[in-house]
């Protein structure tokens, strides 16, 4: 995480208390928080931080490629700091739990040329859906 702060400073970022706190909240490998969840946790550490700054900072981190935006359900976007390790998501249809998963094949390989319609295809996001162990048990 401190290497993240280093990278950001090299990008010309001013290192403010607010940005540091947002970066700290996003620390950890398997976090998928909404902007308001990030804000709530940031407030625990820095009570005066505003919602606008959290949104601004998250947007900047996404621009810089340090954080991924994940929109899976038409509700609030989730912010994923695991941006340097390509992966996909597995989501429980009942409780909404999100897991990072790593498919064995390159998803792009499954899309034949005839199905590309002249697009320059550059990426694929996969959302696997199912029931998590807890929700399977609770039937």
Partner DNA sequence: TCCTAACTTGGACTTTGTCTAAGTCAACAC
Partner DNA sequence: GTGTTGACTTAGACAAAGTCCAAGTTAGGA
> SS3 of 78, please?
strand
Q: Per-residue string for binding with DNA, 14-53, x by CB under 7 A?
A: xxxxxx--------------xxx---------x-xxxxxx
User: Distance between CA 27 and CA 123 in Å, rounded?
Assistant: 25
| Residue 70 or 94 having the CB closest to Zn ion | 94
| Residue 51 or 116 having the CB closest to DNA | 51
> Which residue in 5, 46, 83, 90 binds its own copies (CB under 8 A)?
90
Binding segment toward Zn ion, per CB under 5 A, in 44-52, 53-61, 107-115, 124-132: 124-132
57 lies in the site for DNA, by CB under 7 A: yes
> SS3 of 24, please?
helix
Dihedral sign computed on CA atoms, order 95, 98, 104, 107:
positive
User: Distance between CA 128 and CA 109 in Å, rounded?
Assistant: 18
Residues in CB range of 13: below 8 A, 6 or more apart: 19, 60
| Residue 97 or 115 having the CB closest to DNA | 97
Binding segment toward its own copies, per CB under 8 A, in 2-10, 18-26, 56-64, 98-106: 98-106
38: nearest Cα among 27, 47, 48, 26: 26
Which residues sit at the interface with DNA, rule CB under 7 A?
Answer: 9, 12-19, 34-36, 46, 48-53, 55-57, 59, 74-77
């Amino acid at each position: 995480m401190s290497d993240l702060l280093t990278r950001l400073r090299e990008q010309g970022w001013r290192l403010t208390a607010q940005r540091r706190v947002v970066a700290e909240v996003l620390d950890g490998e398997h976090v998928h928080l909404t902007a308001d969840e990030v804000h709530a946790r940031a407030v625990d550490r820095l009570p005066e931080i505003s919602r606008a700054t959290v949104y601004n900072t998250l947007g900047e981190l996404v621009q810089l490629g340090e954080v991924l935006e994940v929109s899976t359900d038409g509700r609030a976007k989730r912010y994923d700091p695991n941006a340097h390790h390509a992966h996909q998501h597995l989501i429980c249809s009942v409780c909404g739990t999100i897991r990072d998963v790593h498919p064995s094949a390159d998803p792009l390989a499954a899309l034949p040329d005839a199905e590309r319609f002249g697009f320059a295809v550059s990426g694929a996001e996969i959302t696997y859906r199912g029931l998590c162990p807890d929700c399977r048990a609770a039937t």
